[in-house]
Amino acid sequence: MAYRELHMVEIKEVLRLWTRGHGLRTVASRTGVDRKTVRRYVDAAQKAGLELGTTTVEDSLLAEVEAAIRPGASPEIGGMREHLRAHAETIRGWVEEGCHGPKLARLVLRKTGVPVPLRTIQRFVAEDLGVESGQGDTVRVVDPDPGVLEVDFLTLGEFTEIGTGVKRKLHAVLCTAGYSRHQFLWPCLSQTQGDLLEGLEAAWVFFGGVFPILQPDNASAIVKKADPVAPLFTEGFLEYAQARGFEIDPARARQPKDKARVERQVQFSRDDFFRGERFRSLDEARVAARGWCMKEAGERTHGRTRRQPVEAFNAAEKALLLPAPTEPYDEPRWGDYHVGRDHAIVVDHALYSVPFMLGECDLRVRRDRKTVKLYRGARLVKAHPRQPAGGTHIDPADLPPGKAALATRDATSLCAQGEQFGPHVGEYARRLAEGPLPWSRIRRVYRLLGLARRFGGAATDEACARALELDVVDVMRIDAMLEKGLVRRTPVSSTSPPQAPMGTVLRFARDAREFRRGGSDASA
């Protein structure tokens, strides 16, 4: 007859009848227990100190009897345990290498040729070798207050994409309200920060608001450096938390029990939503996931709370949510860049200028859809409008003095500089800047400004005025005029009559009387 384990009330009844003087056969008949089983319990009770005529059977004695009778309680060591003890050091070496479970049983069979049950090996490792199984006691933690959202990544499985016929691995962002267990599932093709933020944006629409506290895991998209007390978050996720107004309370690294509610829903989501489905595209999976979260998962009676998650959410949590965002989130990206001698950096294949006074340095760059911001430490040093790939945005103020016009091919600013030396210099500069050759005309204007600085503004302005009168637009002519001193040192006035240049020598300098016909000499 198979062994039958009695519960405490049955054990107490067997012993109570025996202490009153009933025989083993009578006790067995009255309790419905096999006579041999009755004998074992009575023998164990006698060893524990129970005697005939005892009026009360104490609970402590019942515990000793039960411990002595239950299977495996015999102090005698079986042959399998002795067999394992003979190979204790070898088994210890396997355990230290990380072998456990069926693998350990196969190694024992391969080494000794004797098949040993896995449970026997596990008891031997725990009791004789003193190696913990790694599964310690757990403590059930009370539910969090309403308003806490636990977030996790999971892998659903594979699906065949429509059109291409390619098998793709389907992941998902799973968001579970810790109090109500209302959840949202967002399928995605990877587990990047962009996928996480996209899933959270969809979650705020699904829940109708933003949860005040977010409890994520230590994914690389969220936590840059894990720490139980002071974790370091990524700039992108930290900026998202600031934009949406929630606080971050991350779980510890490799401690899934810190967010046990969402972890408990991982297998449920994978089995109840994904198994047996045939999604042909990512969009189709997302539509199906939203409907499943609202109906099957949201309206079921939860095994622990005994309430529908969507009902509990609407009653206790929805009113605590922050307002849902009205505009899509502009996800920023950060990067480290080195500034060279050209005072510029290339961000996403677009060129941006850097203030020249920074010199060669390292900058932290933030870019979104509209702006590119340059930071040195915590200080913002420059902001540019975002340019498409291949574009350029150079601020002339960022370039060294005297280099801006040349670098930006800005002839207008050069002509404005010419106005400072005189109106004719400015006009002549504008005439020089005309034409289809950008570099040549800019170099000509630079040459004119250099002459003005060298010979002075008055002389250069007069030379330009004379050249403009004759419609001669050639900077080399101005250079020659100034070099040979063929200009006056007084300003040119348009109202005064033209005067002969100073220092002009007449061709005929003899007195006119010397050219008269006849004269005193002739008469003589």
pLDDT tens column, 357-372: 999 999 999 999 999 9
Does some domain include residue 1? no
- Mean pLDDT over residues 335-343, rounded? 91
Does some domain include residue 77? no
User: Can you tell me the distance from the alpha carbon of 271 to that of 280, in angstroms, rounded to the nearest whole number?
Assistant: 18
**For residue range 456-513, what is the model confidence (pLDDT) as tens digits?**
888 999 899 988 888 888 889 888 888 888 776 444 444 444 444 444 444 455 565 6
**For residue range 36-79, what is the model confidence (pLDDT) as tens digits?**
889 989 998 888 888 888 878 888 788 888 877 775 545 445 67
129: pLDDT confidence band, cut at 50, 70 and 90?
Answer: confident
What's the CATH number where 244 sits?
3.30.420.10
Does some domain include residue 444? yes
Does some domain include residue 328? no
* pLDDT at residue 410, rounded to an integer: 62
- Residues 456, 351 share a domain: no
* pLDDT at residue 222, rounded to an integer: 92
- Residues 123, 226 share a domain: no
Does some domain include residue 139? no
- Residues 413, 365 share a domain: no
Which residues, in sequence order, are bridge partners of residue 223?
233
Q: What is the pLDDT of the chain when averaged over all its residues?
A: 84
Sheet with 392-393, side-by-side order of all strands: 344-347, 350-353, 392-393
% residues pLDDT > 70 (the chain): 86
- Mean pLDDT over residues 136-158, rounded? 87
- Residues 208, 348 share a domain: no
Q: Which pair of structure tokens corresponds to residue 221?
A: 């998209």
- Residues 265, 119 share a domain: no
Neighbouring residues of 375: CB distance < 8 A, sequence distance ≥ 6: 363, 364, 365, 366, 381
- Residues 472, 366 share a domain: no
Does some domain include residue 490? yes
**For residue range 205-253, what is the model confidence (pLDDT) as tens digits?**
999 999 999 999 888 889 999 888 889 999 889 999 999 999 999 998 8
- Residues 274, 156 share a domain: yes
- Mean pLDDT over residues 255-283, rounded? 89
Which residues, in sequence order, are bridge partners of residue 167?
160
Domain that holds residue 380: 333-398
**For residue range 83-97, what is the model confidence (pLDDT) as tens digits?**
888 999 999 888 888
Q: Tell me whether strands 379-385 and 371-376 are parallel, antiparallel or unpaired.
A: antiparallel
- Residues 302, 197 share a domain: yes
Among 234-238, 341-345, 402-406, 478-482, the minimum mean pLDDT is found in 402-406
CA distances from 137 to 95, 99, 266 (A): 21, 22, 22
- Residues 500, 478 share a domain: yes
* pLDDT at residue 505, rounded to an integer: 45
Does some domain include residue 187? yes
Q: Please answer whether residues 74 and 53 qualify as being in contact, where contact means their C-beta atoms are separated by less than 8 angstroms.
A: no
* pLDDT at residue 439, rounded to an integer: 60
* pLDDT at residue 154, rounded to an integer: 94
pTM score > 0.85 for this model?
A: no
Does some domain include residue 134? no
- Residues 315, 367 share a domain: no
Among 187-196, 236-245, 377-386, 437-446, the minimum mean pLDDT is found in 437-446
- Mean pLDDT over residues 321-332, rounded? 93
- Residues 302, 228 share a domain: yes
- Residues 109, 214 share a domain: no
Count of structural domains within the chain: 5
Highest mean pLDDT among 100-109, 120-129, 376-385: 376-385
